[in-house]
Chains A and B, each alone.
Chain A
């Protein structure tokens, strides 16, 4: 597994903590369920940032009041065709104003990378054999976008008006 962020392969400084593993210092990613259960202990550690692994099933709204304590959220795809993570990402970024890193993980496929970036994903966990070139090709496939997105916050109809005026 490797990590692609801002169009580069970067080192992953986060440690994924299994639900039954003892709490550790440092930057750790815990499951949403573990977060719900052990919130106080997790926040009470002497050092290290907190990341949450959020599945499509998990209630994104319940994190709204806690986001200032969280530095990373992974949107985890158990099935690539479960589209809830797209709207969850959008809510985290736009509705709840999450300022930390939003990361895609799990079974999503390369054809979903560009739309994931558009809804607000910052970084991608990809299999080792997946090349940076394939990533860069995937995000160039479709250059036109009618809707609003984090790349282009203005819908095409407003940009068209500018290009005419």
Chain B
């Protein structure tokens, strides 16, 4: 994991002090509401329905146990004893007091953390594959590049007042686990014919009101040119992106209206001007960053650990957890373990302060003190010894983090919705809870075979509904909560945006409609066919027919 040096530490301390000063000026009336707004957003602070919400950055999902203990302490001292993991791999606190936020930032700075650029019309927290560095299908570890991007984008003097928010994701494996096609910029690590590492660069993807998949702007960008190319894209966007209508201000609209070829010409022209400037990365810098992410020295003695095999054969509950929540590590003596934050009775992505402390303990004991957050709002221990898995499972069960549902229908992505968020049209968390009630047992869940449901309370799409196999979007109709359903979305290599089923459903009918859709899938699927394949084979109609037969549609 990256370790701050004196420069990095000074910067976050100065930024925290600056924010304290800005908040003081706001509270004494020197700064207007309008002026304070972007300044607080650039520090992750929203004013929500009930209280401010502070979004704390977890750069590309990497966290250590010291930091998690501090988050436990902060959420207890300044909040109501829990936090919420988001789809940008960050952590949100829902109840801090505005006046105390500067103190929280000071505490965060003491463990190399901050809330810089977790909101606002600037470059947001860069995200990546939560299996980076340990996945079997990896081309190269994306995290050193994420850290390079994090530093370049932090307090960039030119790009703090963009037309709209700007999200970058990097994927280093063959399988896209970072949803790069629905980002403003998506970077895929590739090797060219000479075996040199670089990036395939996508631009103009995004969710929200106008969901669009990104288009390729460059097939191979040498790694040394990463920052100059990003800077060129951002400059063209900053100068040309629309500012007359906030719903048309994302880069995806600029690329769409201008056409990818014209946009590319402008970017390449700017890039040719700056590509050999001092911003060009050096081999030394790339190596320096890579040195922070070298795998821990792993002990190979546990290959085919007999005890693990015995436990797997003799304890079916353990075996189910292993099958659903563990992934192969590139070293066969180890497993990658998911901690499910999607227990049926808990709001998706929420963890209590007590759980944070226990996770930190377990991370120290079993995972070298490291924890990762995923964009599907779960956690990962990346290097667990085979021989430790059983003990870890027992400990996770104790704290309700071993629900064997990773990638399953109840592993829903879900925004906070109308329970917390000022932007939301409808609730999300109660929908997730009711969907959970559709299943009598975990076998029913597993029977549905890696089917994902994503729920957003409004079209800002924090819950990524457009790329859920089943997407649920809250809409407001004359003060009542209604829900639109989409089918067939995907955020992986075969990325696609869901197709609307039809008119929206009333709050009381939406979960019935989901039930009908699941039933059609179970009846129509061929053998082990996953939902997405069934949907692509039989189309929307059978699902639509059943859902509206059963329910009274609007």
Contact = CB atoms under 8 A, between A and B. Distances in A.
B398 interface: no
B157 A86 contact: yes
A109 interface: yes
Interface residues of A, number: 38
Interface stretch (B11-19, B58-66, B250-258, B354-362): B11-19
Given A141-B18, A155-B279, A161-B284, A147 B238 contact: no
Interface stretch (B126-134, B159-167, B452-460): B159-167
Contacts of A115: 155, 157-158, 160
Interface stretch (A21-29, A44-52, A75-83): A75-83
Interface stretch (A4-12, A31-39, A87-95): A87-95
Contacts of A91: 239
Given A82-B243, A83-B238, A158 B278 contact: yes
Nearest to B163: A83
A111 B8 CA distance: 20
Nearest to A141: B18
How many of chain B's residues touch chain A, expressed as a range? 35 or more
B35 A161 contact: no
A109 B35 contact: yes
Contacts of B5: 160
A86 B158 contact: yes
Of A60, A146, A149, A156, the most chain B CB neighbours within 10 A belong to A146
> B interface, by DSSP: helix, strand, loop or mixed?
helix
Nearest to A84: B239
Interface in A129-163: 141-149, 153-158, 160-161
Interface centre among A118, A148, A155, A157 (most CB of B within 10 A): A157
B151 A146 contact: yes
B163 to A, nearest CB: 8
B160 A144 contact: no
A156 B22 contact: no
A104 B155 CA distance: 20
A142 B14 contact: yes
A114 interface: yes
A30 interface: no
Interface of A: 56, 60, 80-84, 86-88, 90-91, 95, 109, 111-112, 114-116, 118-119, 141-149, 153-158, 160-161
23 contacts: A83-B158, A84-B243, A86-B160, A90-B235, A112-B161, A115-B157, A118-B158, A119-B157, A141-B17, A142-B11, A142-B14, A143-B10, A144-B14, A146-B152, A147-B158, A153-B278, A154-B278, A157-B282, A158-B282, A160-B7, A160-B285, A160-B288, A161-B284
Given A118-B157, A149-B157, 18 more contacts: A81-B161, A82-B161, A83-B158, A86-B158, A86-B238, A87-B235, A115-B157, A115-B158, A118-B158, A142-B11, A148-B279, A155-B279, A157-B282, A160-B5, A160-B7, A161-B282, A161-B284, A161-B285
